[in-house]
């Protein structure tokens, strides 16, 4: 990582802060200003225990940067904004954020998340102070997510596979770990950093959790935030296409865990079908067909993802 290329902006509260918890938020072409406003509303209740570090991973939008610089400087919470001239990728970016953090615990919080209640930061800070867990995941929800028709397939898929109650998540702790509302103690992160070999979109957080869960306890709790960044079918399909090498890398490193995943089992079965490339095209087309029921479209998109992964198993 070449720190000389990064532009650093600190607000007045940064220099004197001694935080126990560092909130780490990477973004690329997203505007995190709404999230910052919600977090800063809790500044008084966390009593100096929390700092925020933002990483603009190569957005290259001068207007957005100027607005964020002004917002950061006006915030009560201690905040640092790191602006990169070019994209470095999700894994490298999260490692860079961790290097800049001063807290003993790191909260990875994506820029498209919105806390579901007004004690979000306070609950995390109190958990750190009282229990200091190695790893803890607060959970996803769709409470505040957009309900536009173009997002209904993603909404259905997220409700089924990601917005899972903490009691259910705890049964497979390494599976339900996403770097969008994830607390990691510093010594744990230093022992197991994100693998920078994962590029593009997908699976780097799950693979990380597989490694970590072998050495540390992963706790699940109910401190959810809404995932606002729902995608259209086309956008999700493109992300799945990007994720194939990452899925292959994860499967190669953790075959015994990945073999139990439904997506892996489906990929192995689909691999045996002649003419799979043609079928893949039909699956994607069905997922985008607005005349079909949402459940059928979501099933088609899951099949499409598994058919892509057939090339990687």
For 52-91, the pLDDT digits (tens) are 999 999 998 999 999 999 999 999 999 999 999 998 877 7
At 201, the pLDDT band (50, 70, 90 cuts) reads confident
Q: What is the pLDDT of residue 91?
A: 74
Which residues have a Cβ under 8 Å from the Cβ of 165 and sit 6 or more positions away? 139, 222
Q: Which residues contact 47 (CB under 8 A, 6 or more apart)?
A: none
DSSP states along 116-141: SSTTHHHHHHHHHHHT--SEEE--EE
User: For the segment 155-175, what is each residue's pLDDT rounded down to a tens digit?
Assistant: 999 999 889 999 999 998 888
Q: Per-residue pLDDT tens for 263-287?
A: 999 999 999 999 999 999 999 999 9
Q: What values do phi and psi take at 302, rounded to 5?
A: -65, -40
Nearest CA-CA partner of 22 in 173, 140, 182: 182
pLDDT band for position 205 (50/70/90)? Answer: confident
Assess whether pLDDT exceeds 60 at residue 1: no
Contact (Cβ atoms closer than 8 angstroms) between residue 118 and residue 42:
yes
Q: Does 198 have pLDDT greater than 90?
A: no
Length of the chain: 313
What's the chain's average pLDDT? 93
Task: Output the pLDDT for position 16.
Answer: 96
The pLDDT of residue 136 is 97
Set out the domains of the chain in order of their start, with CATH numbers.
Answer: 3-230 (3.90.550.10), 237-312 (no CATH)
Residues 136/221, Cβ–Cβ less than 8 Å: yes
Q: How many CB atoms lie within 10 A of CB 43?
A: 16
Q: How many CB atoms lie within 10 A of CB 86?
A: 8
Residue pair 126/208 in contact by the 8 Å Cβ criterion? no
Encode 242-279 in three state secondary structure. HHHHHHHHHHHHCHHHHCCCHHHHHHHHHHCCCCHHHH
The pLDDT, as a whole number, for residue 50 is: 98
Q: Does position 31 have pLDDT exceeding 80, yes or no?
A: yes
Q: What is the pLDDT of residues 103-139, one digit of tens each?
A: 999 999 999 999 999 999 999 999 999 999 999 999 9
Q: How far is CA 69 from CA 2, 10, 79, 137, in A?
A: 22, 9, 10, 30
**CA-to-CA distance for 254 and 272, rounded, in angstroms?**
22
């Amino acid at each position: 990582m070449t720190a000389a290329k990064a532009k650093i902006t600190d607000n007045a509260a940064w220099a004197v802060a001694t935080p126990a918890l560092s909130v780490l938020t990477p973004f690329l072409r997203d505007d995190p200003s709404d999230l910052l406003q919600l977090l800063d509303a809790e500044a008084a209740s966390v009593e100096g225990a929390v700092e925020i570090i933002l990483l603009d991973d190569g957005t290259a939008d001068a207007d957005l940067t100027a607005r964020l610089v002004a917002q950061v400087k006006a915030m009560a919470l201690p905040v640092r904004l790191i602006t990169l001239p070019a994209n470095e990728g999700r894994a490298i970016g999260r490692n860079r954020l961790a290097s800049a953090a001063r807290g003993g615990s790191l909260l990875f919080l994506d820029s498209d998340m919105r806390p579901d209640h007004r004690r979000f930061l306070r609950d995390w800070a109190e958990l750190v102070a009282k229990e200091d867990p190695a790893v803890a995941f607060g959970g996803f929800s769709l409470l505040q997510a957009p309900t536009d028709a173009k997002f209904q397939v993603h909404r259905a898929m997220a409700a089924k596979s990601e917005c899972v109650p903490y009691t259910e998540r705890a049964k497979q702790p390494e599976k339900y770990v996403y770097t969008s509302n994830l607390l990691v103690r510093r010594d744990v992160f230093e022992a197991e950093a994100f693998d920078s070999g994962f590029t593009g979109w997908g699976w780097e957080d799950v693979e990380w959790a597989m490694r970590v869960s072998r050495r540390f306890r992963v706790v699940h709790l109910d401190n959810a935030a809404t995932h606002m960044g729902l995608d259209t079918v086309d956008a999700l399909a493109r992300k799945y296409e990007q994720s194939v090498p990452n899925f292959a890398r994860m499967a190669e490193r953790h075959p015994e865990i990945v073999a139990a995943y439904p997506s892996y089992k489906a990929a192995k079965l689909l691999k045996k079908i002649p003419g799979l490339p043609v079928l893949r095209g039909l699956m994607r087309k069905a997922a985008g067909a607005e005349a079909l029921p949402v459940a059928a479209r979501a099933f088609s998109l899951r099949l499409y993802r598994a058919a892509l992964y057939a090339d990687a198993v």
